[in-house]
């Protein structure tokens, strides 16, 4: 029983180290994705402002000087496109594996090992 208790303590320590490492890895991946999304957003905004002005003025001229209508059309298109792209990025972030799969598998294996050892001890006691 002492051997099992010592092994169990080792397992707990090992699993805690694995959980820390896996959590750190997951946070690093999520941080990189968030930073990339922020950089892309800044670049897109900087490049889009002059293009949006061009679209509003050009569309306004085509609509017979109705610049308010062209502003509304261009703004609506930008909101829809930006919203869809942002939603896609948020889905990618939420799909990231955050449930520590290696830790879960390791805990399952360790539980099976402990159960096997306990069954072996119980069988030895019954046969003795």
| 75-96 tens-digit pLDDT | 999 899 999 999 998 888 777 7
Q: What is the pLDDT of residue 34?
A: 87
Give the total number of structural domains in the chain: 1
The pLDDT mean for the chain works out to 86
C-alpha to C-alpha distance for 75 and 49, rounded to whole angstroms: 11
What the block records as the tokens of 58 is 């050009």
Q: Could you report the per-residue pLDDT of 38-61, keeping only the tens digit for each?
A: 899 898 888 888 988 999 999 999
- pTM equals 0.45
105 within domain boundaries: yes
Residue 125 resides in a domain: no
| pLDDT at res. 97 | 63
- pLDDT band of residue 98 (cuts 50, 70, 90) is low
6, part of any domain:
yes
* Residue 42, in any domain of the structure: yes
Least confident of 7-16, 32-41, 64-73: 7-16
Which residues, in sequence order, are CB contacts of 11 under 8 Å at separation 6+?
A: 110, 114
127 located within any domain: no
Burial level of 74, CB count in 10 A (0-12/13-18/19+)?
buried
- H or E stretch covering 19: helix 2-62
What span, in angstroms and rounded, lies between the C-alpha atoms of 80 and 73? 11
Q: Is residue 123 part of a domain?
A: no
Beta carbons within 8 Å of 100's beta carbon, 6+ residues apart: 19, 22, 23, 26
Structural domain harbouring 92? 2-118
In a domain, 128, yes or no: no
Share of the chain above pLDDT 70, in %: 95
Q: Which of 61-65, 92-96, 112-116 has the highest mean predicted lDDT (pLDDT)?
A: 61-65
Is pLDDT of 68 > 80? yes
Instruction: State the average pLDDT over residues 106-114.
Output: 81
Q: Is residue 102, in this structure, part of any structural domain at all?
A: yes
């Amino acid at each position: 029983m002492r051997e099992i208790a010592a092994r169990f303590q080792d397992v707990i320590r090992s699993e805690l180290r694995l959980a820390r490492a896996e959590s750190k890895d997951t946070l690093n991946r999520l941080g990189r994705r968030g930073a990339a999304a922020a950089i892309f957003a800044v670049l897109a905004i900087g490049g889009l402002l002059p293009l949006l002005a061009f679209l509003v003025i050009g569309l306004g001229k085509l609509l017979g000087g109705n610049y308010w209508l062209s502003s509304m059309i261009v703004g609506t298109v930008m909101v829809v496109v930006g919203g869809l792209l942002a939603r896609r990025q948020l889905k990618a972030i939420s799909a990231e594996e955050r449930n520590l799969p290696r830790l879960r598998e390791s805990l399952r294996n360790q539980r099976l090992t402990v159960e096997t050892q306990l069954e072996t001890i119980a069988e030895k006691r019954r046969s003795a």
